[in-house]
């Protein structure tokens, strides 16, 4: 529990009822979820049959997408209400996903080097120690596995779009959802992955088009960005 911010958990507990409303406050996540899933599939060589851990799963949007792609998914979050929503929706969707209310650091104690793929999307900017989460994610991976991370870059552009626009103008998210000082520059994130000897293979960014009201993925990483890192076969937690 040392790497849990209870105020941050409370924010997402309050959003739990809207996770699966594509027109609600989780709308941006619904819009980028296919892009995230395609990015993961492309980098890891497909998800079918792979053991996957989704860290900070929220209501299960990505977890369900990966399960539908054939992955065996374990998904964790510390917001109890979000986990309950995720479990109920998976039941309705007839998907077998192992949802747990536990931290990444705690999961490592029981399932180190158990997963082919670990995903952690839009979560590390909400914990006191992002390095601890990233290190735990790396330790969950089997040698030869893949870590997929996404977060917000700490730039003027991200402040304007992710906070001023998304929270104050478009009202996509409640005010105070994001703390600009907790955003991570790619160089900072890659320092944490390098500490676990992971190799970055691809980095892309998400861009919103207000005219089309849609997101696309490309090379602009000034706001939201996503990174695929590989754990070499000769790298072990031991």
pLDDT tens-digit profile of 44-65? Answer: 999 999 999 999 999 999 999 9
The residue ranking higher by pLDDT, 6 or 220, is 220
Task: Check residue 170 and give its pLDDT.
Answer: 67
pLDDT band at residue 167, thresholds of 50, 70 and 90?
Answer: low
Q: Which pairing describes strands 224-230 and 199-209: parallel, antiparallel, or unpaired?
A: antiparallel
How many Å apart are CA 90 and CA 22, to the nearest integer? 16
Residue 124: CA atoms inside 13 Å, Cβ hemisphere, count? 34
Residue 1 pLDDT greater than 80, yes or no = no
Residue 168, pLDDT above cutoff 80: no
In whole angstroms, give the CA distance from residue 197 to residue 232: 8
Binding site for S-adenosyl-L-methionine, residues? 36, 56, 77, 121
Annotated binding site: 36, 56, 77, 121
pLDDT, position 55:
98
Q: Whole-prediction pTM value?
A: 0.92
Q: Is the model's pLDDT at 68 over the cut of 60?
A: yes
Report the C-alpha gap between 118 and 89 in whole angstroms.
22
β-strand pairing of 141-152 with 214-218: unpaired
Smallest Cα–Cα separation from 12: which of 89, 114, 80? Answer: 80
pLDDT on residue 199:
97
Which residues contact residue 36 at a Cβ distance below 8 angstroms, ignoring those fewer than 6 apart?
62, 65, 121, 150, 226
């Amino acid at each position: 529990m040392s790497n849990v911010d209870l105020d941050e958990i409370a924010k997402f507990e309050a959003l739990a009822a809207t996770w699966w409303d594509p027109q609600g406050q989780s709308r941006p996540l619904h819009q980028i979820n296919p892009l995230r899933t395609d990015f993961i599939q492309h980098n890891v060589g497909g998800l079918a049959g792979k053991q996957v851990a989704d860290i900070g799963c929220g209501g299960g949007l990505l977890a369900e997408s990966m399960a539908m792609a054939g992955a065996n998914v374990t998904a964790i979050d510390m917001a109890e209400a979000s986990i309950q929503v995720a479990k109920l929706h998976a039941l309705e969707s007839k998907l077998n996903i192992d949802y747990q209310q536990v931290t990444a650091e705690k999961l490592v104690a029981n399932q180190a080097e158990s997963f082919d793929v670990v995903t952690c999307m839009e979560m590390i900017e909400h914990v006191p120690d992002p390095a601890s989460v990233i290190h735990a994610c790396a330790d969950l991976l089997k040698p030869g596995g893949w870590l997929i991370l996404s977060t917000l870059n700490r730039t003027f552009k991200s402040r304007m779009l992710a906070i001023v626009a998304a929270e104050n103008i478009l009202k996509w998210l409640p005010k105070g959802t994001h703390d600009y000082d907790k955003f991570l520059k790619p160089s900072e994130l890659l320092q944490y992955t390098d500490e676990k000897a992971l190799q970055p293979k691809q980095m892309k960014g998400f861009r919103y088009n207000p005219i089309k009201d849609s997101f696309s993925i490309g090379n602009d990483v000034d706001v939201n960005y996503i990174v695929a890192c590989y754990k070499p076969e000769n790298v072990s937690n031991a």
